[in-house]
């Protein structure tokens, strides 16, 4: 880009920022860098903070599993009605799609998952889960509260938005592939980019982390039935032992990663299920094994799936058994979560403006999975972590743990980051579109 074009782009950018800020007396600068701190200040005010806390606690007391989030969805819609935010309902059974802004391009989306886990809460407190065997053990109640907090701030400044913010309240993230169902229902129509956050119990409150490229692994599940011929344990030569065959299968599955995968390409194959036999002196007719496989690259995940099937059937055959393998290819097969490089740059700028560079960390890739990856297969997407750890509160448990507790101090950070990312994205897209229009005019 020549110097004159750079100056033109900068002036356009400044004009858009000034237009955004000038009608709000709280802003004293025409610099876009002030927006994140301003939004954080707004969400930390007692009125907004305790409003988010109240929503989060209401949801925590009434956890609902995937595609059963009818009460959760009702609470969300009630709050959107109070805020005057337009929405569509239902999508993917219980999902809600909100809209703030002009209703015109560009469109940017913010996503929060809504579902709980089948876990019995073991924390005694005033707002403990009222539903036996169900608990918000992954912070999705906080995710919803933070996205509603972002909606409140954005709605207050809706007349300044240079485009449209789409709010995705998504059901069924915990193993149900709810993101895929939301896409099929049209949730990404016109949307050009999408952001999401997840609370992180290992990261201090006030810090965030993420990275460009692979962040979370893709994952799949498998179950195999290995068939032999049952008989008395005292005369094993009259039988075909599926337990022995299954044992050889499990050992061979571990060789896929240790001897076939690049050591720098993180992959996992774990057998967590082994069922067969019911007596000490009887060889059973069949054994069922099952497990999970994970990889940070899509091609590695596909190869793992292929090799797992080949190893199970071939090793069973060595022991004179037969095997059938089911990979549950529908909603249980998650692609890797791969963050867009350009959105990473935008996130880094926004988070640094809000929190300072020392509180913006680079995350290490993890072998956990997220169905947010389905969105990223359609449009550029970015997932980041917000810290909630507070040493003074003692051990509050990790995610998917019955003793997990959300530090509610995290709520303003997530809400203001959501809102700031949406605003910054719309501003930068406005600059890009204006520059493209000018280039096209010059060419004419």
In a domain, 168, yes or no: yes
Predicted pLDDT at 333: 87
Predicted pLDDT at 199: 98
Residue 182: exposure state from Cβ atoms within 10 A (0-12, 13-18, ≥19):
buried
Please give the Cα distance from 200 to 137 (Å, whole number).
Answer: 12
What mean pLDDT comes out for the span 301-326?
Answer: 97
Please give the Cα distance from 71 to 130 (Å, whole number).
Answer: 13
Cis peptide preceding 361, ω within 30 of 0: no
pLDDT exceeds 60 at position 17: no
What mean pLDDT comes out for the span 107-134?
Answer: 98
Q: How many domains does the chain have?
A: 2
Shared-domain flag, residues 210 and 308: no
Shared-domain flag, residues 55 and 91: yes
Predicted pLDDT at 391: 76
Shared-domain flag, residues 301 and 360: no
138 known ligand binder: yes
Please report which confidence band the pLDDT of residue 331 belongs to, taking 50, 70 and 90 as the band edges.
Answer: low
Predicted pLDDT at 413: 98
Predicted pLDDT at 48: 98
Per-residue model confidence as pLDDT tens digits over 148-168: 999 999 999 999 998 999 999
Helix (H, G, I), strand (E, B) or coil at 344: helix
Predicted pLDDT at 29: 37
What mean pLDDT comes out for the span 293-310?
Answer: 96
Shared-domain flag, residues 140 and 18: yes
Please report which confidence band the pLDDT of residue 32 belongs to, taking 50, 70 and 90 as the band edges.
Answer: confident
pLDDT exceeds 60 at position 42: yes
pLDDT exceeds 70 at position 404: yes
What percentage of the chain reaches a pLDDT higher than 90? 86
Shared-domain flag, residues 103 and 230: no
User: What's the full length of the chain, in residues?
Assistant: 444
Predicted pLDDT at 5: 54
Shared-domain flag, residues 161 and 251: no
Shared-domain flag, residues 134 and 179: yes
Domain with 360 in it: 3-215+336-440
End of a domain among 286, 308, 326?
326
What mean pLDDT comes out for the span 173-187?
Answer: 96
Please give the Cα distance from 241 to 256 (Å, whole number).
Answer: 24
Q: What is the CATH number of the domain that holds 341?
A: 3.40.630.10
- Mean pLDDT (the chain) is 92
Predicted pLDDT at 432: 78
440 known ligand binder: no
In a domain, 23, yes or no: yes
Shared-domain flag, residues 231 and 102: no
What mean pLDDT comes out for the span 249-273?
Answer: 96
Predicted pLDDT at 442: 53
Quickly list DSSP for 293-342: EEESSHHHHHHHHHHHHHHHHHHHHHTT-EEEEE--TTTT-BPPEEE-HH
Angle at 367 between CA 264 and CA 171, to 5 degrees: 150
127 known ligand binder: no
418 known ligand binder: no
Q: Which two tokens stand for residue 1?
A: 């880009």
In a domain, 100, yes or no: yes
Predicted pLDDT at 96: 98
Quickly list DSSP for 212-257: SEEEE-EEEEEEEEEE-B-EETT-GGGSB-HHHHHHHHHHHHHHII
In a domain, 331, yes or no: no
238 known ligand binder: no
Closest to 89 measured CA to CA, from 104, 101, 74: 74
Region for 186 from its dihedrals, namely left if φ exceeds 0, alpha if ψ lies in -120 to 50, beta otherwise:
left
Predicted pLDDT at 397: 84
What residues contact residue 179 under an 8 Å CB cut-off, 6+ apart?
A: 111, 170, 173, 371, 372, 373, 374, 375
Predicted pLDDT at 28: 34
Predicted pLDDT at 156: 97
What mean pLDDT comes out for the span 304-331?
Answer: 94
pLDDT exceeds 60 at position 22: no
What mean pLDDT comes out for the span 26-54?
Answer: 85
What mean pLDDT comes out for the span 90-101?
Answer: 98
């Amino acid at each position: 880009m020549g110097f004159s074009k750079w100056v033109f782009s900068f002036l356009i950018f400044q004009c858009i920022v000034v237009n955004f800020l000038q009608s709000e007396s709280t802003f004293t600068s025409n610099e876009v860098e002030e927006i994140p701190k301003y939004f954080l200040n707004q969400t930390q005010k007692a009125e907004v903070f305790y409003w988010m806390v109240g929503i989060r606690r209401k949801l925590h007391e009434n956890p609902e599993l995937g595609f059963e989030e009818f009460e959760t969805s009702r609470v969300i819609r009630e709050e959107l009605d109070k805020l005057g935010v337009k929405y569509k309902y239902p999508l993917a059974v219980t999902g809600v799609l909100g809209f703030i802004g002009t209703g015109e391009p560009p469109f940017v989306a913010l996503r929060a998952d809504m579902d709980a886990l089948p876990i019995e809460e073991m924390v005694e407190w005033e707002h403990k889960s009222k539903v036996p065997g169900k608990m918000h053990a992954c912070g999705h109640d906080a995710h919803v509260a933070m996205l509603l907090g972002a909606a409140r701030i954005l709605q207050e400044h809706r007349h300044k938005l240079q485009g449209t913010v789409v709010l995705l309240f998504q059901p069924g993230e915990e193993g149900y592939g709810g993101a895929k169902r939301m896409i099929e229902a049209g949730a990404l129509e016109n949307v050009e980019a999408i952001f999401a956050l997840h609370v992180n119990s290992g990261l201090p409150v006030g810090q965030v982390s993420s990275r460009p490229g692979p962040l979370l692994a893709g994952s799949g599940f498998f179950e195999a039935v290995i068939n032999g011929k049952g008989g008395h344990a005292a005369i094993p030569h009259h039988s075909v032992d599926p337990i022995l065959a299954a044992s050889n299968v499990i050992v061979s599955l571990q060789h896929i990663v240790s001897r076939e995968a690049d050591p720098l390409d993180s992959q996992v194959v774990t057998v967590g299920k082994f069922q067969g036999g019911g007596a000490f002196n009887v060889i059973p007719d069949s054994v069922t094994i099952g497990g999970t496989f994970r990889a940070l690259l899509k091609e590695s995940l596909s190869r793992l799936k292929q090799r797992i099937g080949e190893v199970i059937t071939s090793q069973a055959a060595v022991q004179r058994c037969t095997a059938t393998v089911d990979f549950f290819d529908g909603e249980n097969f998650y692609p890797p979560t791969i963050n867009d490089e350009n959105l990473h740059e935008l996130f880094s700028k926004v988070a640094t403006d809000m929190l300072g560079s020392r509180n913006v960390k680079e995350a290490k890739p993890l072998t956990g999975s997220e169905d947010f990856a389905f969105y990223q297969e359609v449009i550029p997407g970015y997932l980041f972590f917000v810290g909630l750890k507070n040493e003074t509160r003692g051990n509050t448990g990790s995610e998917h743990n019955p003793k997990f507790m959300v530090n509610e101090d995290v709520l303003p950070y997530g809400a203001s980051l959501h809102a700031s990312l949406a605003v910054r994205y719309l501003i930068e897209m406005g600059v890009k579109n204006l520059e493209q229009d000018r280039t096209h005019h010059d060419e004419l």
